[in-house]
Structure 1
Amino acid sequence: MRIATANAYDNTIAHLQKRQQELAESQVRLTSNKRVLRASDDPTAAARAERALAAAQRAQVSQRAVDASRNAMTLAESALGDAVDMLQAVRDSLVAAGNATYTDAERKSIAEQLQQYRDQLLSIANRSDGAGTYLFSGQGTLGQPFVDAPGGVQYRGVGGAASVASDEALPMTVDGHYAWMTAPSGNGVFETRAVTSLGSAWIDAGRVTDPAAILDRGYDIDFSVTGGTTTWSIQRRNPDGTPDGAPVTGTYESGKAIEIDGMSFTISGAPADGDRFSIEPSTGSLSVFDVLDRVIAGLKQPGAGSGQVTQTVNDGLRDVDSLLVRMQSVRSAVGDTLNRADAVSDRLGETELQAKTERSNAEDLDLVEGISDFQTRQTGYDAALKTYAQVQRLSLFQYLG
């Protein structure tokens, strides 16, 4: 077999270039710490790595959504805490307003203080997250969710809550209508009201004595004073307002409980002839701002009798207590959301770590194996260079010369 010198040189250079390329690829794998640089290196491992990368990216996107929800709920929890503190201050002022020795001017001063609390509560209800989203806007609003209109504060948002765009159902806002406008009226079962009070009588919030006997009815309590004797008459009302059966009557004693249909309430003071009180089923329509507006108006009324003042204060304390329960309930729900966000964040962190581990197992290089492979290829390349140097000197022209 005849081997030309040029052919031998070409074959040797081709082998050198191949070894040099293998050495360069080994060096790239070593410096990048990647065993799979292209899908053609290991199609199966490349597919595993791509799936793991997609899973890690999904976890990262979900984590950003969870962080956004956590930040919004942290601000909402803080706002609700401020509202609870403010309502507690309102309650303290109402207790002070019940002082029988206060003059009209002193009660008016307390009413002005309550007006400031009311304005601060409105500011809290319209608090934003600093990025243009209102914390209590529900499912969205074009502007501030609470508007101070002539007829009272109105809610312009959409009920419910907006959620983050991820697989985890975490809220970005709080349902402001539920939190601020729909606390249960009265004691949660029925509501006592003073309809006409010309004397000094007032009615308390009442209590339930027999839940099974409660009827979905309204009641009118009328007083009659004849010959120094005061009597009361309770007339049940049908839902359409018509009388329901014969009235129940009794002799009035101040501070003595009156019971009817599983309900007990107390009327104290000296009612005048023709005074009327009523009992209505409780509704979920108690608004923070309406309550304060009624209390402020009642305390500002000049020449109000002791019964009217006591009624205003007691109704205000009853309603504020209901509002406090609602606020604390919503605050607890927001706290539960924060705890859930922490749990979701931990789970997403584990998912991302698992995906990164899977990707590393699929495409990362074993450093010990990589260093050994690099050294082996380097040794082979050095040997090929030395061989080529020896073969190059075996040219026929060197002998002919």
Structure 2
Amino acid sequence: MQISTNQFYSNTASLLQKLTEKTNDIQTQISTTKKYAAPSDNVVAYQQLATIKQSAADNTAYASNVSLAQSLLQQSDSALTSVESDLTKASELVTQANSDTLSDAQRKTISTQLKSVMDDLASLANTRDARGQPLFGAATGDSAVTKNPDGTVSFTGTGTPASIPIGDGASIQPTDSAEHVFGGIATPGGTGDIFSILSKFTAALDAGGSVTAAAGEAGTSLSAALTQVTGVHGAVGARAARLDLVSSTMKTAATDLEATRSGIEDTDISTAVIDLQKMSTALQATQASFTKLSALSLFDYLK
């Protein structure tokens, strides 16, 4: 089969163009470290990358929420530890005040100490979290509790604190309301809260005389309060453990997503360099052959 001069030039030019484009593509892949310069280079790969990048963005957002929730639970853990310490101290003071050997003046001194404990508890209840919001705040209210002019303490907000989303269809409540922590305590006289329990007993101490009955009631109530706070504290620990697991799972997922993305999008430099060398060699050889063949004439064949 004979090949015309025009066809020879056309075929060779087309081959040189393809080799040059392929060489330039590989050079671009190496310089940018990306396999594809535009969606049209590989539509399927770009669709996969879009899905992966959206999943990675969602994972990052949820990871941020998990980190926030962990911070709030750590603060709750610390605050509740202090609350438990204050309740233990209050129970000890109640027991001390119940001694028959104490005078009214001495009991008033214990009353002052208990009022100090109550102030500390109110301060802990109004702890601000890392966002500047009340750690034990409810769904409503700027603060968790309010100290009234008469020295009593009341709960400010109502409702359950908002949960934080930590995954698709999953959320966690990072804090508890002050009412849940400090209120709803079963006492011999009904249901009360830590502040009213302490206020009632300090009033009995300030009044003077025997406090045996009042001390018995206060002791029982404070024991119930400590049990309740310990239960809340345990729930905080359980939620923290859950977040640790979620965080670990997210880190693994993030690593897997990045590996998948890299496999689809990133240039394998070592392989690309070898391909570039092969392509450059083929291009040079084709150029050399074209130059040699195009220079031939009839006289060359007659030699």
Q: TM-score, normalised by structure 1?
A: 0.66
- Superposition pairs for residues 156-195 of structure 1, below 5 Å? 156-167=156-167, 168-186=170-188, 191=189
Structure 1: how far apart are the matches of 2:149 and 2:226?
Answer: 25
Change (3 A) 1:327 1:2: closer
Change (3 A) 1:131 1:2: closer
Amino acid at match of 1:330: V
Structure 2: how far apart are the matches of 1:139 and 1:29?
Answer: 54
Match of 1:341 in 2: 243
Change (3 A) 1:70 1:296: same
Change (3 A) 1:172 1:140: farther
Match of 1:298 in 2: 204
- C-alpha deviations, 1:39-89, integer Å up to 9, x for none? 222222222222122112211111111111110111011101110001111
Structure 2: how far apart are the matches of 1:348 and 1:2?
Answer: 65
Match of 1:94 in 2: 94
- Superposition pairs for residues 123-138 of structure 1, below 5 Å? 123-138=123-138
Find the residue that maps to 2:250 and give its secondary structure.
helix
Shifted more, 38-47 versus 288-297: the winner is: 38-47
Aligned residues: 291
Contact 1:111 1:299 in 2 (8 A): yes
Runs of 4+ in 1 over 6 A off after TM superposition: 10-14, 391-395
CA-CA distance at 1:350 after TM superposition? 2.5
Structure 1: how far apart are the matches of 2:139 and 2:115?
Answer: 29
Structure 2: how far apart are the matches of 1:46 and 1:289?
Answer: 62
Change (3 A) 1:35 1:2: closer
- C-alpha deviations, 1:269-324, integer Å up to 9, x for none? xxxxxxxxxxxxxx4x321110111111111113x1x3xx1112111111111110
Match of 1:370 in 2: 272
Match of 1:146 in 2: 145
- Superposition pairs for residues 109-128 of structure 1, below 5 Å? 109-128=109-128
Amino acid at match of 2:185: A
Match of 1:289 in 2: 195
Match of 2:227 in 1: 325
Structure 2: how far apart are the matches of 1:140 and 1:63?
Answer: 26
1:68 matched to 2:56? The reply is no
| Structure 2 stretches lacking a partner, 5+ long | 298-303
Contact 2:144 2:177 in 1 (8 A): no
Structure 1: how far apart are the matches of 2:240 and 2:174?
Answer: 11
| Structure 1 stretches lacking a partner, 5+ long | 192-282, 396-401
Contact 1:137 1:157 in 2 (8 A): yes
Structure 1: how far apart are the matches of 2:66 and 2:130?
Answer: 18
Contact 2:95 2:215 in 1 (8 A): yes
Higher helix proportion (structure 1 or 2) = 2
- Superposition pairs for residues 245-256 of structure 1, below 5 Å? none
Structure 2: how far apart are the matches of 1:80 and 1:159?
Answer: 20
Match of 1:57 in 2: 57
Match of 1:35 in 2: 35
Amino acid at match of 1:147: T
Shifted more, 309-318 versus 148-157: the winner is: 148-157
Match of 2:216 in 1: 314
- C-alpha deviations, 1:82-115, integer Å up to 9, x for none? 1000111111111111121111111111111111
Contact 2:94 2:219 in 1 (8 A): yes
Q: Over aligned residue pairs, what C-alpha RMSD do you find?
A: 2.7
